[in-house]
């Protein structure tokens, strides 16, 4: 049974609230993507090379990476030949199936946080300024508090004006402690103080903010290396997660950022923010193709519970809903 055929029955078992969040959060992407594919099918009486060329362009314009587009279209061509499909209106099911299968294939698919049951779990948050890192830290903390965990945050971005205060305000709203130093101070010393404090208070999770100065990669690399050394001294298995926050609305620029950060430090997962603000939801497929790092969370709105654990079926459904309804 293909993904297209089983999508509705698999989604029945998932929370209606989560279904609604994905559908609402990906509305712009779905409207843009589905309408273009449906318009393409309406313009062609039969499938030919021109049809496939236009399909490639639609996928590329939706921020699906070029290499992945070629793979998807090649797979669609094979399936069309095998099933002897002539009518473009019958191809929607295959497009959705291939997007799902190619993302899922040979992929490290875990979306779960690697919690340490024996020790403090340390999460490093990295990403350029403006990607929504501080807000994402607050939303992650909120999610973990709802799961019954105790959480502390460390204001390790000591360079951006206002970053410390911003994180502190969020911490107060959530009723958790924010360990901070002075603006312009040494971020590693803030992290060290936070580690000691989290250990003393027997906290489950410490989430550490970091500076987002990608334009000065040497400084950032040295800073992250120092932080990692300090964390390992106190928590030998830490940091258990290094999550890169990417603004989905930046499209291929976001993919480039992910590639640059992956050269600087080991990334365990991605958080894609502002998915509700982009009409090019294919960035999820593009990043997978470029880096093969799992997307762990997606931001589907501005509310605290709009940060959702990434779900491939929900994502494909949200992106392609207009194709499924035809």
Which residues are annotated as part of the binding site for GTP? 127-134, 209-213, 273-276
Backbone φ, ψ for residue 206 (5° rounding): -115, 120
Token representation of residue 43 = 């313009």
- Measure the CA–CA gap between 167 and 154, rounded to whole angstroms: 8
> What is the Cα Rg of the chain in Å?
21
* Dihedral over Cα of 76, 77, 79, 84: its sign: positive
Separation CA 272–CA 259 (nearest Å): 14
Q: How far apart are CA 197 and CA 50, in angstroms?
A: 63
- How far is the C-alpha of 80 from the C-alpha of 294, rounded, in Å? 30
Binding-site annotation, residues: 127-134, 209-213, 273-276
Q: How far is Cα 171 from Cα 247, in angstroms, rounded to an integer?
A: 22
Output the six-digit token pair for 136: 């994402």
Which pair of structure tokens corresponds to residue 187? Answer: 């971020």
First to last CA, the chain: 19
Q: Which candidate, 247, 228, 252, 197, places its Cα nearest to that of 62?
A: 252
Q: Judge whether 277 and 26 are in contact, CB under 8 Å.
A: no
Q: Which two tokens stand for residue 96?
A: 């959705």
- Among residues 115, 68, 119, 121, the alpha carbon closest in space to that of 95 is found at 68
Evaluate whether 317 touches 11 at the Cβ level (below 8 Å): yes
Q: Which helix (H) or strand (E) holds 309?
A: strand 307-309
Assigned token pair, 307: 């940060």
Residue 161 is given by DSSP the state T
Which residue's structure tokens are 């205060």?
A: 165
């Amino acid at each position: 049974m293909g993904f297209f055929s089983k999508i509705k029955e698999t989604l029945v078992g998932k929370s209606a609230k989560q279904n609604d969040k994905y559908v609402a959060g990906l509305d712009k992407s779905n409207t843009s993507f589905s309408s273009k594919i449906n318009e393409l099918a309406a313009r062609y009486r039969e499938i030919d090379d021109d049809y496939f060329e236009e399909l490639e362009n639609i996928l590329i314009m939706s921020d699906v990476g070029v290499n992945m587009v070629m793979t998807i279209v090649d797979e669609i061509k094979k399936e069309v030949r095998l099933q002897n499909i002539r009518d473009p209106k019958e191809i929607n099911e295959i497009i959705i199936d291939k997007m799902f299968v190619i993302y899922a294939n040979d992929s490290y698919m875990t979306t779960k946080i690697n919690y340490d049951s024996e020790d403090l779990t340390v999460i490093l948050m990295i990403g350029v300024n403006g990607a929504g890192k501080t807000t994402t830290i607050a939303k992650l903390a909120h999610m973990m508090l709802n799961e019954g965990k105790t959480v502390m945050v460390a204001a390790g971005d000591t360079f951006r004006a206002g970053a410390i205060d911003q994180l502190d305000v969020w911490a107060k709203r959530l009723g958790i402690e924010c360990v901070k130093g002075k603006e312009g101070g040494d971020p590693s010393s803030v992290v060290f103080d936070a580690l000691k404090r989290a250990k003393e208070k027997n906290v489950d999770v410490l989430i550490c903010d970091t500076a987002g100065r990608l334009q000065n990669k040497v400084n950032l690399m040295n800073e992250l290396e120092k932080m990692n050394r300090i964390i390992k001294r106190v928590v030998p298995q830490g940091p258990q997660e290094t999550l890169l926050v990417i603004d989905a609305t930046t499209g291929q620029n976001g993919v480039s950022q992910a590639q640059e950060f992956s050269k600087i430090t080991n990334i365990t997962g991605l958080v894609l923010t502002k998915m509700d603000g982009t009409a090019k939801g294919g960035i999820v497929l593009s990043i997978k193709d470029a880096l093969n790092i799992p997307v762990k969370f997606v931001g589907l709105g501005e509310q605290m519970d709009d940060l959702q654990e990434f779900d491939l079926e929900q994502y494909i459904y949200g992106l392609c809903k207009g194709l499924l309804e035809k």
